[in-house]
Homo-oligomer: A and B are copies of this chain.
Amino acid sequence: MRIGELARRAGVSTRSLRYYEQQGLIMARRSANGYREYNEADLRLVAEIRSLLTVGFTLEDAKPFVACLRAGHESGSSCPESVAVYRRKLAEIDDEIRALLVRRAEVAGQLTVACPGCVLRKQGEK
Contacts and interface: CB of A to CB of B under 8 A. Distances in A.
Interface string A95-126: 01110110110111011011100111011100
Contact of A107 (B55, B78, B115, B118): B55
B77 A90 contact: no
B104 A94 contact: yes
Contact of A87 (B82, B118, B124): B118
Interface size class of A (residues with CB under 8 A): 35 or more
B111 A94 contact: no
A1 interface: no
Interface of A: 55-56, 75, 77-78, 82-83, 86-87, 89-91, 93-94, 96-98, 100-101, 103-104, 106-108, 110-111, 113-115, 118-120, 122-124
Given A55-B103, A87-B120, A89-B107, 13 more contacts: A55-B106, A56-B103, A77-B114, A78-B114, A86-B115, A87-B118, A90-B107, A91-B120, A93-B100, A94-B120, A94-B122, A97-B100, A98-B123
